[in-house]
Structure 1
C-alpha cells in the first residue's frame, strides 16, 4: 500500500470517528443522557413515550399476520446464533492469547439498551433485544475473524468484494510480494497493541 493511500485511509478513519462522535453528541443532547449503562430521558420525553406505547392486545391485532406466522422460524435461529457465539468466543479465548492478538470486547458490539425505551411494549422490547444480540454478535464475530485474517493473511482479493470488514482496507495489495514476510510480521505486532473498537 502506498503512502498516499495510507494517508487517505487515516483521514477517512479520523473523519468517520469525528462524525460518529458529533452525531452521538447531538442525539444525546437533544433526547437523552447516558449515565453508566443507564439511558435517561427528560421527564417530558418519558411521559410522551408512555403515551405512545401500544398495548400488547392492540399490538397483537394490528400486527402484520406474516410477522406472527414467521415468528417461530425467526426465534428458532437462536440455537445456531448461540452456538456461533459460544464457538467463536471459545476460539478467541483460547487462540488469541497464543497469537498475541488483543481480544475483542463483546460489550463494544453487543449492546442492550432498547429495553429502556418507554414507547415499546414488552414484545417489541423482546424483538429489539433479539435483534441487538444477533446483529451485535455478527459484528463481534466479524471483528474476531477480521483480526484472524489480518494475522494469517492480510492480503486483499483481486476481485472487488462487498461487505469487507473494517480492517480489510489496510491489507496488502493482491500480488504485493516484496518483503511479504516482514510486512506480515508488522501486522502481527500491531494486533498485539491495545486497540480501540473498530467500526462495523
Structure 2
C-alpha cells in the first residue's frame, strides 16, 4: 500500500506536468516556435519587439548611480560560480563513475534562449545571459548534490528543510534506524538508474 508521502509526491509530480502543459499553451499563443533548439518569432512580432528596445545610452543614463556602482559586485560572482561549475563537473566525472551513478547532463541546465529577444538591448542580454548561467549552475550543482546525498546519506533532517530537492521526499525518516542499511541499499540501487528531473523513465 502506498504511504501518504508517496501519494502527495505523486500529486505534486502530476501538478508539475499540468503546469508545464499550461505554460506550453501560453507559449503557443506568443507566436514563436522552436527550430533546432533556436526560438523563431514571426516577422511582425520581431518588428514590434525592436520598437520596444531601449537604446543602450538611454538605458545607462536612466539607471540610478548606486545600481551602476553595484554592477561590479554582482558580476564578480562569476569567478566563484565558474570555479564551482568546473569543480563539480570534475567531481562527478571521477566519483560518479566509481559509485555507478549516471552523470548529470550539464547542458540540460544551462539555457540561453533570451539572447534572441529583440526587445532587449545588449546590456540587458548580457544580464540575462549572466542570470541564466548562474541559475543554471545552481540547478546543475543541486542535482549533482541530490544524487550524492541519496547515495551516501538519504535521511531526512529532524527540522523542516526549506526548498528541499525532489529526491528528499523519498529519504528515510529521521531516527528510524531499524531497517536503514537495507533501505540504503535500495536507494543506492535507485540512484544508479537516475534520470534528469522531468525526464521520462523509459528514455
TM-score greater than 0.5 by the shorter chain: yes
2:105 is matched with which residue?
A: 105
Query: Could you list the runs of 5+ residues in structure 1 that have no partner in the other structure?
Result: none
- The alignment covers a number of residue pairs equal to 199
2:142 is matched with which residue?
A: 142
Structure 1, residues 44-90: CA drift from partner, whole Å, max 9, x if none? Answer: 11111000011111111112222210111111111111111111110
Structure 1, residues 76-130: CA drift from partner, whole Å, max 9, x if none? Answer: 1111111111111100111111111111111221111110000001111001101
2:168 is matched with which residue?
A: 168
For the 8 Å contact 1:102–1:193, the answer to whether it is kept is: yes
For the 8 Å contact 1:166–1:198, the answer to whether it is kept is: no
- Which has the higher mean CA deviation after the structures are superposed, 87-96 or 21-30? 21-30
1:114 is matched with which residue?
A: 114
Structure 1, residues 1-24: CA drift from partner, whole Å, max 9, x if none? Answer: x62321221222122123213312
1:70 corresponds to 2:70: yes
Distance 1:61 1:177 in 2: 62
CA RMSD for the aligned pairs?
A: 1.8
Distance 2:173 2:198 in 1: 21
User: Structure 1 residues 31 and 66, CA, compared in 2 at 3 Å: closer, same or farther?
Assistant: farther
Distance 1:92 1:21 in 2: 32
Query: Could you list the runs of 5+ residues in structure 2 that have no partner in the other structure?
Result: none
With structure 1 as the length reference, what TM-score do the two structures score? 0.93
With structure 2 as the length reference, what TM-score do the two structures score? 0.91
Q: Secondary structure at the match of 1:195?
A: coil
**What stretches of structure 1 move > 6 A for 4+ residues in a row?**
none
Q: Secondary structure at the match of 1:96?
A: helix
For the 8 Å contact 2:53–2:118, the answer to whether it is kept is: yes
1:183 is matched with which residue?
A: 183
Alpha-carbon offset, residue 165 of structure 1: 1.5
Distance 2:13 2:153 in 1: 22
Q: Secondary structure at the match of 1:30?
A: coil
Q: Secondary structure at the match of 1:167?
A: helix
